[in-house]
Amino acid sequence: MSKVKFYSGENVPLEMHKVRIIQKLDLVPIDRRLQAIKEAGNNTFLLKNRDIFLDMLTDSGVNAMSDQQLAAMMVADDSYAGSESFTRLENKIEEIFGMKYFLPVHQGRAAENIISKVYVTPGSYVPMNYHFTTTKAHIVLNGGTVEEYITEEGLKFNSDNPFKGNMDTAALQGLIDRVGASKIAYVRVETGTNLIGGQPHSLANLREVSGICKKNGLKLVFDASLLADNLHFIKTREDACKNKSIREITREISDLCDIIYFSARKLGCARGGGICSRTQDDYMKMRELVTLYEGFLTYGGMSVREIEAMTVGLDETMDENMINQGPQFIEFVVNELHKAGVPVITPAGGLGAHINAGAFVSHLPQTEYPAGALAAALYLVGGIRGMERGSISEQRDADGNETYANMELLRLAAPRRVFTLSQMKFVVDRIIWLYQNRELIGGLKFVEEPKMLRFFFGKLEGTTGWHEKLVAKFKADFGDSL
Ligand code: F0G
């Protein structure tokens, strides 16, 4: 992709695949969209697909699969125990990560459940570059405390730092000095750091973290769910890695870690997950919980067809032209928005474009959930479904107080190879219109607030009648356009 130059000098991401299967889309009229977002309690998780034009909620389980993946699914070996499909996956894991022991799980959070149950004890700490929602929930459930040591740059909305996902290694050492290594369950690095805008860490930073772990006898657990994007950024942004192949970089990463787990709904464009470990000891500790919570060791709650798709998908992840499609589309959207003055996280990361909702609707206080309000407004004006990644995605503390997010973001995920560039231009166009009419967007308040993971099921309503005002302005500007 990146090696193709346009005569015009334009920087256009060029698809290195062709689309042979399509799924029809509808953009329902704005009056229906108004009804739909109200029925969903302004929570984009609760919208129905039939009301959605461009689903940018997540890349999880919705990346386009290749012809090779679909073909592999047809030759899957279905059996409760001893499936050949599993053996093929196990071999591929060893080939790519050099780790001998592999446990299958039904998705990423199942790996987190098992790892947390085995290693997190009440009163222990888990330092990490940054948390992911399900990761933190599992660690806390097992009595652990999450300590986040993202570098200062990581929490800046705009920066030219190419590796905003790096861990602050001095802070990590500080925790070890303060509480002692015995109180630390393990150190976790999340690649392609999700909640701060899909920002990568460098190989050099991981090497430093690993050095500290080794020196102090700590396990390094690596969440590889967003590895594909991070590999692209290491290859293109880290000078020392410019001449290394994706396979070589992957192997250098895995050689620094003790346990690697991933959601295969992201990594490998399938549905499932896994835990790779270097030692038989770690494998044995986790093995029983896999059979208890997931299924037998040769399927782990996954369909064997998905296992075959994962094996091929992991292999395809080692192809630069495959893994650069997501980041380049995201960069296109981010750059177009940035040029138009829309506040976005820069530099562009992986996973999706991230709008700085706090600045977009700066007239809304955090108590009125700016990122949630912006998500509802964007659905209303474009049928585009994004995901709130702000305070609604946080949990109240033990005393019932709000814990406000460091960043109020609207995430527009870019499922790999799913959308076309003209669809991305539509997204940019609608966001720019919304930005110019941002003062019409009002706040939200909860009408139903679940205790756990409230962002999934919570229902909210507008603090004022702002939805109708936005619809009226849309009709005035767009006439009878959908
Ligand atoms: N770790 C990271 C970094 C993730 O992004 C996710 C999922 C998980 C773990 C959990 O994996 O969904 O297979 O159970 N992220 C999805 C998202 C949900 O939309 O960002 P899972």
Best of 60, 116, 129, 310 for a ligand 1 pocket test (most atoms within 8 Å of beta carbon): 60
- 12-23: string of b/e by CB count within 10 Å (b at 16+)? ebeeeeeeeeee
Q: CA–CA separation, 198 vs 260, rounded Å? A: 18
| pTM of the predicted protein model | 0.96
- 308-318: string of b/e by CB count within 10 Å (b at 16+)? bbbbbbbbbbb
* Cα separation of the two ends of the chain: 33
Helix (H) or strand (E) holding 171: helix 169-179
Which residue's alpha carbon is nearest to atom 11 within ligand 1? 108
Q: Is 104 in the pocket of ligand 1 (CB under 6 A)?
A: no
Question: What is the amino acid identity at position 30?
Answer: I
Which residue's alpha carbon is nearest to atom 5 within ligand 1? 194
Give the orientation angle of helix 246-255 with respect to helix 203-215, to 10 degrees: 20
Residues forming beta bridges with residue 353, ordered by sequence position: 412
Say if CB 454 and CB 402 are below 8 A apart.
Answer: no
3-state secondary structure of 285: helix
Query: DSSP characters for 403-469?
Result: ---SS-EEEEE--TTTS-HHHHHHHHHHHHHHHHTGGG---EEEEE--SSSHHHH-EEEESSSHHHH
For 337, residues 6+ apart whose C-beta sits below 8 A from its C-beta are 344, 353, 355, 428, 431, 432
Q: CA–CA separation, 273 vs 153, rounded Å? A: 31
Q: Is 194 in the pocket of ligand 1 (CB under 6 A)?
A: yes
> Which portions of the chain are predicted below pLDDT 70?
1-2
- The catalytic position among 132, 283, 369, 435 is 132
pLDDT, position 2: 58
Q: CA–CA separation, 354 vs 217, rounded Å? A: 37
pLDDT, position 398: 86
Clarify whether 293 is annotated catalytic.
Answer: no
Q: Is 389 in the pocket of ligand 1 (CB under 6 A)?
A: no
- The catalytic position among 287, 385, 389, 459 is 389
Ligand 1 atom at minimal distance to the Cα of residue 264:
13
Residues forming beta bridges with residue 127, ordered by sequence position: 147
Tokens linked to 453: 């993971």
The bridge status of strand 459-462 relative to strand 444-448 is antiparallel
The bridge status of strand 273-277 relative to strand 387-389 is unpaired
Clarify whether 223 is annotated catalytic.
Answer: yes
Q: CA–CA separation, 25 vs 22, rounded Å? A: 9
Q: Is 134 in the pocket of ligand 1 (CB under 6 A)?
A: yes
Q: Is 173 in the pocket of ligand 1 (CB under 6 A)?
A: no
Query: How far is CA 41 from its chain centroid?
Result: 24
- Neighbour tally for 291: CB within 10 Å: 12
